[in-house]
């Protein structure tokens, strides 16, 4: 089976710390592909580092949709494959894409997603994205969306919206023909999860996806997203939950500094000893549940103000779009 020319389009912004390793990976695993890097205004030398390994390096206005559309305009391939620079792609990925597109009725697809973290909450986050593809018919950008060139044009390119441009694009592709999710997985990055904490980040993503599914307005999604990222929904306990591994159960002082402890600490209730870096089975999960309920309640309260019609009318819009 012949493999069509695939153009890998990578939107980047200040990725100097990882772009070299990522492009070297692409050269090793997808040697026959054309690599197009589209920079959105980096000031850390990302374009210069990319020029040594990519076939083309472009500059475009900041924004993933604009950057990916700019890359597609100059790409030479019959197939476009959109990747994030913090991904690890599986071996034989090009061959698997070719198998999907060997059937004329298929116009594209995506990969499964897996985050490298071992904690169970990462499996929940994996499932959110994979269920979105399998059940609701949309994929996010970290799933590695690919499509035929003609399908990209028929779908109208990536919509230049603040959020969910990849989900909207994937759903537009479904109207052009068959879209298939491969069984092999792309290993995504947990950088965001490490910044905010895996539990908090998973809650945030679930809320955004849930609002999207019921047809909330883009202005509502954007407003909630900005509040989530600004920490408007943080609680005094999220600083504890956001720490992973060593020292996760250490208290936070008024200046944000964690007091030093030995490997175990004692509590006044029976001098119970708690291993450093782990939550007590009962209190830890109770704290997770408290934070989840607290933040979801705050978000739900704000939604009544932001978009009171995102419920019934939103579901109607979802049915119409689907």
Count the alpha carbons within 13 Å of 215 in the hemisphere toward its beta carbon: 15
Find the helix or strand (DSSP H, E) in which 150 lies: helix 149-154
Residue 83 scores a pLDDT above 60: yes
What 3-state DSSP class applies to 35?
Answer: strand
* Interior angle at CA 181, CA 23 and CA 55, nearest 5: 20
Give me the DSSP letters along 274-297. Answer: EETTS--HHHHHHHHHHHHHHHHH
Q: List all residues 6 or more positions away from 67 whose beta carbon is below 8 Å from its beta carbon.
A: 11, 12, 38, 39, 40, 60, 61
Helix axis angle for 120-134 and 198-213, nearest 10°, is 20
Count of other CB atoms within 10 angstroms of residue 68: 27
In this prediction, residues 146-169 reach a mean pLDDT of 95
**Lowest-pLDDT range of 2-6, 62-66, 166-170, 257-261:** 257-261
pLDDT at 261: 34
- Residues 174-192 have a mean pLDDT of 92
Rounded CA-CA distance 145/141 in Å is: 6
Greater model confidence, 268 or 21: 21
103/148 Cα distance (integer angstroms): 12
Two structure tokens written together for 276:
């450093």
- C-alpha distances (whole Å) from 183 to each of 126, 205, 261 are 13, 23, 45
> What pLDDT digit, counting tens, does each position of 210-244 carry?
888 888 888 888 888 887 666 554 444 444 344 33
**Residue given tokens 């047809």 in the structure block:** 215
CA distance 84 to 88: 9
Domains of the chain: 6-189 (3.90.550.10), 191-316 (no CATH)
Q: Are residues 130 and 112 in contact, defined by beta-carbon separation less than 8 angstroms?
A: yes
pLDDT of residue 219: 84
Higher local confidence (pLDDT), 261 or 316? 316
Q: Give the residue-averaged pLDDT of 191-196.
A: 82
> Does the pLDDT value for residue 283 go beyond 50?
no
Tell me the CB-side half-sphere exposure of residue 252, using CA atoms within 13 A. Answer: 13
Max CA separation in the chain (angstroms): 70
Q: Which helix (H) or strand (E) holds 184?
A: strand 178-187
Q: Which tens digit of pLDDT belongs to each residue from 66-80? A: 999 999 999 999 999
Here the tokens at position 215 are 């047809």
The pLDDT of residue 300 is 54
For position 245, what pLDDT does the model report?
Answer: 37
- Where does residue 270 fall: left (phi above 0), alpha (psi -120 to 50 degrees), or beta otherwise? left
Cα 214 to Cα 207: distance, rounded to the nearest angstrom: 11
Smallest Cα–Cα separation from 67: which of 165, 208, 187, 138? 165
Q: Are strands 106-114 and 146-148 parallel, antiparallel or unpaired?
A: antiparallel
Residues near 3 by beta carbon (within 8 Å), at least 6 away in sequence: 32, 94, 95, 97, 98
For 192, the enclosing helix (H) or strand (E) is helix 191-196
The model carries a pTM of 0.74
- Mean pLDDT, the chain, whole residue set: 78
């Amino acid at each position: 089976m012949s493999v069509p020319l695939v153009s890998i389009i990578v939107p980047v912004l200040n990725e100097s710390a990882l772009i070299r390793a990522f492009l070297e990976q692409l050269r090793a695993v997808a040697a026959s592909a054309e690599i197009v890097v589209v920079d959105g205004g980096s000031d850390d030398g990302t374009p210069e580092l990319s020029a040594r390994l990519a076939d083309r390096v472009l500059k475009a206005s900041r924004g993933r949709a604009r950057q990916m559309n700019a890359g597609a305009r100059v790409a030479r391939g019959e197939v476009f494959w959109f990747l994030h620079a913090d991904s690890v792609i599986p071996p034989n990925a090009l061959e698997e894409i070719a198998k999907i597109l060997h059937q004329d009725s298929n116009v594209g697809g995506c990969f499964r997603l897996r985050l490298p973290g071992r904690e169970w909450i990462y499996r929940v986050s994996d499932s959110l994205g994979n269920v979105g593809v399998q059940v609701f018919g949309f994929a996010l950008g970290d799933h590695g969306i690919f499509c035929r060139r003609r399908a990209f044009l028929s779908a109208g390119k990536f919509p230049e919206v603040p959020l969910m441009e990849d989900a909207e694009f994937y759903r537009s592709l479904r109207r052009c023909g068959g879209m298939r999710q491969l069984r092999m997985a792309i290993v995504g990055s947990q950088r965001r999860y490490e910044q905010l904490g895996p539990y908090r980040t998973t809650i945030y993503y679930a809320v955004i996806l849930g609002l999207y599914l019921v047809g909330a307005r883009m202005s509502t999604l954007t407003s909630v997203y900005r509040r989530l990222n600004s920490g408007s929904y943080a609680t005094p306990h999220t600083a504890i939950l956001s720490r992973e591994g060593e020292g996760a159960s250490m208290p936070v002082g008024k200046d944000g500094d964690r007091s030093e402890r030995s490997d175990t600490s004692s509590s006044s209730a029976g001098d119970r000893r708690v291993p450093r870096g782990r939550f007590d089975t009962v209190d830890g999960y109770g704290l997770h549940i408290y934070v989840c309920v607290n933040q979801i309640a705050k978000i739900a309260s704000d939604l009544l103000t932001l978009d009171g019609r995102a419920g019934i009318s939103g579901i109607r819009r979802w049915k119409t779009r689907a």
